[in-house]
Amino acid sequence: MCNPLLMIGAQAVGGVNQAVGAYYSAGAQRDGMRSQARFAEINARMADLAQASAWRSGERAQQSHRMQVTATKERARVATAANGVDMTSASAIRGQATTDLVGELDAQAIEANAAAVAMGHRAEAGNMRSQAASLRGAAGAINPGLSALQTLVTSGTKVAGSWYGMQKAEPAPESDDPLFDFGRSKGLW
């Protein structure tokens, strides 16, 4: 037959081991959340850079397009003049105005597209910052010491329940262990 004190001692040691495990597990979870928050902040900074890049790319594309429109207008003027058409005639002026209008509409579309891309990156940066704040808050709420204490209390109540259960049980027959017999005779168990 197994010694009841040995069983209770093993149960107590197991509870301490569980508490140590809970402490390190909670600490690792907290550290993992802090790392995720740092990566979310890095991603937010990258999204900020992408936003600025989208604006710059849009501006360059707009400038390039306007230069192309100007070159197209000049080629049309040269061709019109080469055909002997008066540059002050209504048809020549309408052709130039149409080129200007279409060119400006295209430039505005390029700007609107760049703005949409930039705003997407801006929203992404905001989401990443919110995620980082949430992770930091959750990490701050994790207390490894408290986790270990909760585990110790839970284990302690189980050990105490076993101890009291053993006290109410029928007296065990004499054992081969003189220390156990002595403790039982003094009412220790």
Return d(Cα 100, Cα 78) in angstroms, integer: 16
The pLDDT assigned to 171 comes to 59
**Do 136 and 37 contact (CB within 8 A), yes or no?**
yes
| pLDDT attached to residue 164 | 81
pLDDT number for residue 51: 97
User: Which pLDDT value is given to residue 80?
Assistant: 87
Mean pLDDT per 10-residue section of the chain, whose length is 189 residues: 77 92 96 97 97 96 96 91 88 90 95 96 97 96 94 90 76 68 74
Q: Would you state the pLDDT for residue 162?
A: 82
